[in-house]
Amino acid sequence: MAESKTVHSPMLTYVSMLSLLTLCPPFVILLWYTLVHADGSVALTWEYLKQNGVEGFRSIWPKPSAVAWKIIACFAAFEAILQLALPGQRVEGPISPTGNRPVYKANGLAAYAVTLITYLSLWWFGIFNPAIVYDHLGEIFSALIMGSFVFCIFLYIKGHLAPSSSDSGSSGNILIDFYWGMELYPRIGKSFDIKVFTNCRFGMMSWAVLALTYCIKQYEVNGRVSDSMLVNTALMVVYVTKFFLWEAGYWNTMDIAHDRAGFYICWGCLVWVPSVYTSPGLYLVNHPVNLGTQLALFILAAGILCIYVNYDCDRQRQEFRKTNGKCLIWGKAPSKITAMYTTSNGETKSSLLLTSGWWGLSRHFHYVPEILAAFSWTVPALFNHFLPYFYVVFLTILLFDRAKRDDDRCLSKYQKYWKQYCEKVPYRIIPGIY
């Protein structure tokens, strides 16, 4: 697999792989336990583990229950049915290194609307209480950890025995193949795209569903919802809504078009997204903060502005690509570089690199408002504990690493043209600083 040669040194790759494979599953459980049962205090959890050791850790790891499996199965089946059954526009993804062009059905926004309306209706009419999801959350996360690991083994075996396209192959190393994945575009049959399901329809959808769940749970417990929880929930839901508005654009990003379907992406979306990305809201369930109207509205407005700028960055580049550079960027004709590259089968092709608008500020400027948006839906928790901010710290590290990986990949692909681009747009993420 070519990517593993260009991203990091082999030693760093192995260390990061083994660390994530072994440390992420227990971290998910410790995060849940600390936020729900240890008052959000890392010190309390640490003290408990120090006193009780491995046996103490085993005692706090919940066993997957029948209720947890039922909730996961119903949610997964519902999203899979929506992905297959809802109508949507035909969208073509980018041409792969082996010359394949994946075709998608863009029905994410409809699936998102149906999901939230259904979930809230079940609660409103007393058919299903979302507080049950919160009450069994540890068991759900435990089941997801195990089930998603088995799912990744299935992807590994499928990649060997029944790949969906020529965009697959082995690196010759079992660990790398399992971690980074065997297939770029794995599908079940012709229509069911596995990465669209794991990344978008399960991972991102669960983010919004859990955000609403935490809000409803706080209402059930306290008879009211704090303004801090309202701001947190509103901003998360707005952000996920933005994602589904732009879902077809997401299919052109590194996650879908370059990273293969392995533990890194699929387990991450099935487990890490619902557990870690929603953690600020989980903290607020038992720690309602009264911000006051002015501060709450200020944080809400700042967060919405960040989400809009993040959306507008992606919209700007999408419009530029769709019109082949024949559009206006901030009222002017766009500045661009025509970059030539050679595909794996020897064909010479060209791409346009946008060097104005948001994309003239830095090569990955869209990560700046994304990190600030995450901070805006976390800051309602104020600063009594560090743990609610873990997601912001994690996201910052993830995006800085992704920016480096993307730059390395583009340098390998475009060579001298990418160097020209870097001369014209010298900053990687933060204009004037980095």
Distance CA 248, CA 105 (A): 9
Using pLDDT thresholds of 50, 70 and 90, give the confidence band for residue 34: very high
As a whole number, mean pLDDT of residues 369-378 equals: 97
Nearest 5°: CA angle at 432, between 310 and 301?
Answer: 35
Evaluate if residue 13 carries a pLDDT over 80.
Answer: no
Nearest 5°: CA angle at 174, between 193 and 342?
Answer: 60
SS3 43: helix
Distance CA 218, CA 233 (A): 12
- Of 390, 163, 181, which Cα lies nearest the Cα of 265? 181
Evaluate if residue 7 carries a pLDDT over 60.
Answer: no
As a whole number, mean pLDDT of residues 376-390 equals: 95
Q: Which residue has the higher pLDDT, 346 or 50?
A: 50
94: how many CB neighbours lie within 10 A of its CB?
Answer: 15
Nearest 5°: CA angle at 166, between 165 and 169?
Answer: 110
pLDDT tens sequence across 138-190? 999 999 999 999 999 999 999 999 999 888 888 888 988 999 999 999 999 98
Evaluate if residue 371 carries a pLDDT over 50.
Answer: yes
Distance CA 200, CA 207 (A): 10
Mean pLDDT of the chain, nearest integer: 92
As a whole number, mean pLDDT of residues 25-30 equals: 96
As a whole number, mean pLDDT of residues 202-217 equals: 98
C-alpha dihedral sign at 196, 199, 202, 204: negative
Sequence-distant (6+) residues with CB within 8 A of 294 are none
pLDDT over 90 for what percent of the chain?
78
Query: What's the pTM?
Result: 0.91
Distance CA 113, CA 109 (A): 6
Provide the 8-state DSSP code for 88: -
Residue length of the chain: 434
As a whole number, mean pLDDT of residues 309-338 equals: 91
pLDDT tens sequence across 241-281? 999 999 998 998 888 988 899 999 999 999 999 999 999 99
For the chain, the first-to-last Cα distance in angstroms comes to: 29
Evaluate if residue 133 carries a pLDDT over 50.
Answer: yes
Rg (CA), the chain: 22
Distance CA 64, CA 271 (A): 14
pLDDT at residue number 262: 93
136: how many CB neighbours lie within 10 A of its CB?
Answer: 20
As a whole number, mean pLDDT of residues 199-209 equals: 97
pLDDT at residue number 6: 39
148 burial type by CB count under 10 A (0-12 exposed, 13-18 middle, 19+ buried): buried
pLDDT tens sequence across 392-415? 999 999 999 999 988 998 998 889
Distance CA 50, CA 53 (A): 6
Provide the 8-state DSSP code for 44: H
Q: Helices marked H in 223-357 — which ranges? A: 227-245, 247-250, 254-257, 279-286, 293-322
Q: Which residue has the higher pLDDT, 74 or 180?
A: 74
Residue ranges with strand state E in 123-211: 187-188, 192-193
Sequence-distant (6+) residues with CB within 8 A of 107 are 82, 83, 86, 87, 88
346: how many CB neighbours lie within 10 A of its CB?
Answer: 6
254 burial type by CB count under 10 A (0-12 exposed, 13-18 middle, 19+ buried): middle
Provide the 8-state DSSP code for 8: S
Tokens of 233: 């929930």
pLDDT tens sequence across 415-431? 999 999 999 999 999 99
pLDDT at residue number 28: 97
- Of 212, 72, 61, 69, which Cα lies nearest the Cα of 131? 212
